[in-house]
Structure 1
């Protein structure tokens, strides 16, 4: 049984980390969040110590280490802009870090974390859950079979991800680009990871729309052309989705064939933890391509979409 600590215990994704720690047979000994709406802890680890002040949490983790009951892993589920600092905290306290996506906001942060890994001998793992989704693994296998016979194949891909959010979103840290990295980083980074994992490195990238509630663009990968559209605005939902009462819409088509991957998301954190505990987790270099993609999307100029590069939600507007 390994000892875990959790930073960001009051957030949306925190219960999945608690569930994963529980289901892998490990123990959460301490959790920290500046917000104290963390009653969910009782469902998993009622004996865990909880802190609302980082300084007291820091002291507690240090005391555990000195008493011989050190924390083995720190799960980081804090706001995106704090990931880098909280990963450093884990490593410097002799623990491995398991961090939510995006790992960091900029690629230079990865270089610095690699140095601290070397200094401490501890590892940084990123939750890249789509790499463990059965439908995505099946797609990767099909693509590899095709490329084995035709290495120059180019796949045509349309990615659409709409996850409606209310007014609270833009008041929270998620609505602040400096803290979240913007729409493409906050809700899109794991899709970019999945696409570059399957179809190869980025050759070109364009942004056609970059607004607070939506972003769209084009990625040219080694073996794919990707038109993507992401939004947290329910007005973009297809009428059929609105009429069904749903507020989320995911669609990935590869050569006009829909890839079904809407189910199975809730168990992927446990699978990710199992993967990490088996010594097969996704580290800093695996995270780098997607961080480079979202960093470019955040900072490059917005250009008009050529018809063959524009997502269908934009073309014709």
Structure 2
């Protein structure tokens, strides 16, 4: 095997050599798999027909200068974006063409743009309301105590809404920062669950929720972060209270039991289930529940003080504990969130 063959096969990306005659010469196994190459000395136009790539290769051969191009590969399962790197090897040899898959990078950049847009939108609404009320207080309502009292109450609610959003954003950032670091402390899960239930007790009483919980006597100390797991179950219980209402009232159940063996984790596991008997969630929306800022009912969620970040925080905390979050929902019957954590 020549040195050039060794270099090509050492590359992590599909790559091949294009000679001065615009024919594909040597190639690595990744390029062979991607383009179905069988032998060398194939016209480049028969391998790839993307005009910008062909032009970049020709220009690089002529000028002996590095070039880049974008290549969109269309297949039945979808499109894949590649950044094409073209580097001259030698005037007599031609250029090396490498294909870097940038789908993940572009997806990350799109998620970043969406995140900034969502945060801006969520903050703009309360800020606009506050600014409008301030303008009214300075003008028409300047000498109207009754209107002032009403407007101050609205402004306080909008300011609290922004405060809750910022709190959840900080919580999400902190969870993501330590997501790869699995907790090492042993904690009592029954204490975690009881603390979470106590935290939402007042909200349940206010909404008239009927709440019961069942804890298995077999629960053992678990490797985890006490504060974060309390946050998980508080968020799930608050969701059940806020969105699990039905015409017959709230009925919420929290149960915790030990699985002797979980096939996915291949070890014993703890399963905690929070169930309600509310209207349920349409099946096509269930996979999106843990997306940031996603709400099944945006208007209702905002009115209840929801930020659309609660389940995203839950997902990241559960992942940090190497667990999983399962959701089962039937429209008209209710929803169950199951947190499964390996021992």
Instruction: Name the TM-score, length of structure 1 as normaliser.
Output: 0.23
Higher relative contact order (CA 8 A, sep 6+): 1
| Greater percentage in strand | 2
